[in-house]
Structures are given as C-alpha cells and as structure tokens.
Structure 1
Amino acid sequence: MDIIEAIHTRRSIRKFTDQPVDEAQVTQLLQAAMSAPSAGNAQPWQFVVIEDRQTLSKIPEFHPYAAMCRQAPLAILVCGDTSLEKYPGYWVQDCSAAVQNILLAVHGLGLGAVWTGIYPDLPRVEGMRNLLGLPEQIQPLALIPIGHPDQPSGKVDRFRPERIHHDRW
C-alpha cells in the first residue's frame, strides 16, 4: 500500500472479529514503532503487549473510551521511559510518533486499531500503572487495541485549507 494512500485511508477501528492477530504481525508492529523518530535519537519508549483476556476486560473499568478492549484480541500500551530521555519532557512527542507508526503499520497489514489516550489523564495513568505493575519511571501514554476489523472504513477528506498559514498568522 502506498504511504499516502495509507495515511488517507487509515481509520480508528473500534469493532473487531474474534480472529487472533499473528505473533509475527505483532513483531512487525513493534518494529515499526521502534523506527519512529525521537529527540536526540533517545528512543525513550517501552511497550506492553496485552493479550490476557481478563486484563483487557479490566481496562474499561477505569478508561471510559476503551470498551473495545473487551473484544480486541490484543492491545499495545506505549509508554515513555523517563530514565532513557536525553531531553526531559520530549517522551510524549517521541512516543506519539511510535503510536502513529503502529497505527499505519496496523492498517498496512490489513488489521484495525484505535488510539486510546492514557496520559495525561491521571485516573487512566494510575489505572494502567496499577493493572500492569508499571515502574515509577514508566509513563503510559496510549493504549492501542488491535484486531481484525469488523466495521467498514474508507477515505474521508479532512483537508481544511482555512487552517493553513504561510510565513505569519
């Protein structure tokens, strides 16, 4: 799939079939994530692959927009590791780039996913921290439920030329 086509046709998928995701595909997604740019090439990310059905089912108890975890075959939690930062505070941008790479790779593999925000919502951060036993230096940024799509998707024109400014505001 052409990268421009992938960018324009990727959609947030919240409904999945019960078909499992192949372990080799999960590895490809994580490889894509780790190919993201990062400040000073610090790569301050850590990933938690969640496949346990009980664990996935507990996430909507503290994350109101993660109901799809109850049916998703897996989710990847993208975390910033503050002990790996060269430039403090940039872990959010670095990990966001990794999330976008995962979302594009998911689409390229014919899978579906949705970005569910964790940070900076403290109840969600603490919920993930407690559920998964995250160390103090690990900051959960985003949870990405992944599976085989069970909903239609397609290209939507989101281009807004009135939001473009050249040289000055």
Structure 2
Amino acid sequence: MDERLMFLFKRRSIRAFHRDKSVEEKDIKALLEAGMAAPSARNLKPWHFIVVTDREMLDKLSVAHPYAEMLREATLCIAVCADPEISERYWVQDCSAATENILIAAANIGLGAVWLGCHPREERKKAIKPLLGIPDNIELLSLIAIGHPAEEKEPRTQYDETRVHRERW
C-alpha cells in the first residue's frame, strides 16, 4: 500500500458503534464541511444534509431501511439529499462524491461510518422521506451511520490489476 494514500485506505465500512459516546458538534461540522468540499458538476452543489442525533429517530431509521440495524448503536446519521431542480443530470454523482468525502473524513477524525444506499430504491425512499420530513421535490441518496467505532478494521487497498486497462480495453 502506498503510505501517501493511507487516509483513503483506512476508510472501512464500520457497522458497530459505542452507543454511549456521542459525536461532538465540532466533528459533525467537520464532516459536513468535508461533504460540501466534494466536486459537483458545474459547481452547482445540489446537496442538502439532514443531521440526525435523536435516539428515537435513529431507531426509527434503523427499521425503515432494511440494512440499517447499526443505527440502533450509531449516535449520528447524516442523510444526503439533493434538489434535482438544481442539477437534474448529475445530482447522483455530486451527492455520491459528498457521501464518500464524509466517509473518508469520518475515518480520519477517529469515527466509524457506513454508507446506506437509498436511491434508486423507491421503497427505501418512501419509508424514510416522511420520517425526516423530506419534501417531495427533494431526492434522498443515502444515509450515513456514524459513531465511535466498536470494531477495528485494518487499512486496506483493493487494488486489482485485472481491472486496469491501458490505452484501450
């Protein structure tokens, strides 16, 4: 592994958290700054973020999304949303970049996080949008479960030479 890229390789999907340790407000702001530092097509920045720390709401979200049980232990969830009127063609890419920036930032400030996909699964969006009061004209791309990790995973690269093509396929 290239040591210069360790900040990327230490980003791992963390699904176990210390329920009794909340994420500090300064860290929440840092995560949001990271999300908003993502590139976006034509610099339109179609994203909106919903910060959820309420225990009751985290528990509701853990039921609304079929793979979100870890939200019962996480102390923070960030819902990454988009206004498709701002960027109809590229909101998915823009908000995916924001989601990944948040995941990388979380790992590098000592937090654990995992990406929970919502878009394009209509049944997931239908279950979650009303809980979070998301307007009909706003899209929900992802939920990010975040907290102090209760599991450790070693940094890794997933480099696979068979996936690399030079000059042509």
Q: Please tell me the TM-score bracket, short chain as reference.
A: over 0.9
* Counterpart-to-counterpart distance in 2, 1:121 and 1:150: 29
Tell me, what secondary structure is at the counterpart of 1:144? strand
Unaligned runs of 5+ in 1: none
1:68 to 62, 70, 75: 70
When the two chains are superposed, the root-mean-square deviation of aligned CA atoms in Å is 1.2
Residue 123 (structure 1) shift: 1.0
> Residue type matched to 1:143 in 2?
L
Using the size of structure 1 for normalisation, the TM-score is 0.94
Note closer, same or farther for the CA distance 1:77–1:3 as it changes in structure 2 (3 Å cut).
Answer: farther
Q: In the alignment, what sits opposite 2:102?
A: 102
* Counterpart-to-counterpart distance in 2, 1:67 and 1:76: 15
| 2:20 is the counterpart of 1:12 | no
8 A Cα contact 2:81 2:141, kept in partner:
yes
Residue 84 (structure 1) shift: 1.9
8 A Cα contact 2:65 2:128, kept in partner:
no
* Counterpart-to-counterpart distance in 1, 2:114 and 2:38: 18
Tell me, what secondary structure is at the counterpart of 1:114? strand
Tell me, what secondary structure is at the counterpart of 1:84? coil
Q: Which moved more, 1:33-42 or 1:158-167?
A: 158-167
Tell me, what secondary structure is at the counterpart of 2:71? helix
Name the count of aligned residue pairs: 166
Deviations 1:138-167 (A, max 9, x none): 111010011000001112341110011112
Structure 1 residue runs of 4 or more that deviate by more than 4 Å after TM superposition: none
Residue 83 (structure 1) shift: 2.5
* Counterpart-to-counterpart distance in 1, 2:36 and 2:100: 11
* Counterpart-to-counterpart distance in 2, 1:38 and 1:148: 29
Using the size of structure 2 for normalisation, the TM-score is 0.94
Unaligned runs of 5+ in 2: none
* Counterpart-to-counterpart distance in 2, 1:82 and 1:101: 20
Q: In the alignment, what sits opposite 1:159?
A: 159
* Counterpart-to-counterpart distance in 2, 1:13 and 1:73: 13
Note closer, same or farther for the CA distance 1:3–1:139 as it changes in structure 2 (3 Å cut).
Answer: farther
Within a 5 Å distance, the mapping from 1:135-150 to structure 2 comes to: 135-150=135-150
Identical columns (%): 46
> Residue type matched to 1:5 in 2?
M
